[in-house]
Amino acid sequence: MKVKAAVAHSAKQPLSIEIVDLEGPKEGEVLVEIKASGVCHTDAYTLSGADPEGLFPAILGHEGAGIVVEVGSGVKSLQKGDRVIPLYVPECRNCKFCLSGKTNLCQAIRETQGKGVMPDGSSRFSLNGKMLHHYMGTSTFANYTVVPEIALAKIREDAPLEKVCLLGCGITTGIGAVINTAKVQVGDNVVVFGLGGVGLSVIQGAKLAGANMIIGVDINPNKKALGEKLGMTHFVNPKEVEGDLVPYLVNLTNGGADFSFECIGNVKIMRQALECCHKGWGTCVIVGVAGAGEEISTRPFQLVTGRTWKGTAFGGTKGRTHLPKIVDWYMEGKINIDDLITEFMPIEDINRAFDLMHAGKSIRSVVTF
């Protein structure tokens, strides 16, 4: 079939809107009509050419939501008409990782996903007979896409797809980092570095978990108001702190954070995030994605004296199991998605979404089809 897609022909080039060919779903695959997709930093990172695993030409996009149009042979858990969110971290419930019960990092289709193809090794997308790569197993910058059954979370029918698409990445990552990875407890003091869509969602998660102090750290003072609306109790602008930030935060929390979250992807801030944790038990969760090849450092004494460094991908969320519940939380008013959407725009304007992101003017832009 012919579908409309924003194609990334090569790195550093704007996306171009094209009519491309999409083959139907094969065994274990599902054809999904994408209704909306968020534009995330990971898409921009790949498009910038800095991602060593980036492949071109490709159809980017991984924060989408849509409706099942057709299922391939052997697909049992989904049928035509189901509302779904594509998962860049699938959940096969059958691999060593899924069966461990200890992680959300399903490895069932990791290898082919990283190569930009479906699990059988081929692509469903092409343009003028030339193959286009899939991206993160999702390729949501197209009005139709083919996704493996194990990489689709079925959600309730009444959820607005142009909102809940954001649960496909950033918002779930932030909330999940608090609930699944850190397991923040009532009364904990939390410090969040970086108040973009991810950090603001850490704030929401910390509020849900009943945290005491929820301290947001950002160099952009414009983030304060929304942070407070979502549950932040204190805002710290590092540019306005006299002296070092770490002792300032340790003092503010009366000894250090029970949990800190780095939601920027800056290895220097990752160190500050660890070192502002409480001696003896404080845990720092790395949520932001640093550039390829970058390294973190601290003095080992920080760990010897009881601080923990850990990390999370997709907030430790098992997509097929957990996402339907997170959608319920949104529908019940327990979490806020609407205020994190700074603009809706048609897919034709997608390059503007990248411009707004680079200018720091958006939290999330959502493209619709």
Minimum CB distance to Zn ion smaller for 106 or for 287? 106
- Rule CB under 6 A: say whether 150 interacts with ligand APR: no
Out of 98, 209, 245, 357, name the contact with Zn ion by CB under 5 A: 98
- Rule CB under 6 A: say whether 207 interacts with ligand APR: no
Reference 38, options 161, 203, 201, 220; nearest CA is: 161
Minimum CB distance to ligand APR smaller for 217 or for 277? 217
d(CA 82, CA 96): 28
Q: Are strands 364-368 and 341-346 parallel, antiparallel or unpaired?
A: parallel
Out of 263, 286, 335, 341, name the contact with ligand APR by CB under 6 A: 263
| DSSP-derived 3-state class of residue 52 | coil
Site for ligand APR in 19-58 (CB under 6 A): 41-42
Out of 9, 93, 110, 352, the active site residue is 110
Out of 14, 238, 255, 324, name the contact with ligand APR by CB under 6 A: 238
Smallest gap from Cβ 44 to ligand APR, in A, equals 9
Q: Which residues pair with 283 in a beta bridge?
A: 259, 308
- Rule CB under 5 A: say whether 106 interacts with Zn ion: yes
Catalytic site residue 40? yes
| DSSP-derived 3-state class of residue 218 | coil
Out of 9, 33, 95, 103, the active site residue is 95
d(CA 292, CA 325): 33
Smallest gap from Cβ 251 to ligand APR, in A, equals 18
Q: What are phi and psi of 91, to 5 degrees?
A: -145, 95
| DSSP-derived 3-state class of residue 316 | helix
One-letter identity of residue 290: A
- Rule CB under 6 A: say whether 86 interacts with ligand APR: no
Q: Name the region of 139 (left: φ>0; alpha: ψ -120 to 50; beta: rest).
A: left
- Rule CB under 6 A: say whether 61 interacts with ligand APR: no
Please, are residues 171 and 339 in contact by the beta-carbon 8 Å criterion? no
What letter does residue 25 receive in the DSSP assignment?
A: P
The window from 64-72, 122-130, 175-183, 212-220 that contacts ligand APR (CB under 6 A) reads 212-220
- Rule CB under 6 A: say whether 199 interacts with ligand APR: yes
Contacting residues toward ligand APR, per CB under 6 A: 41-42, 170, 193-199, 217-220, 223, 238, 263-266, 269, 287-289
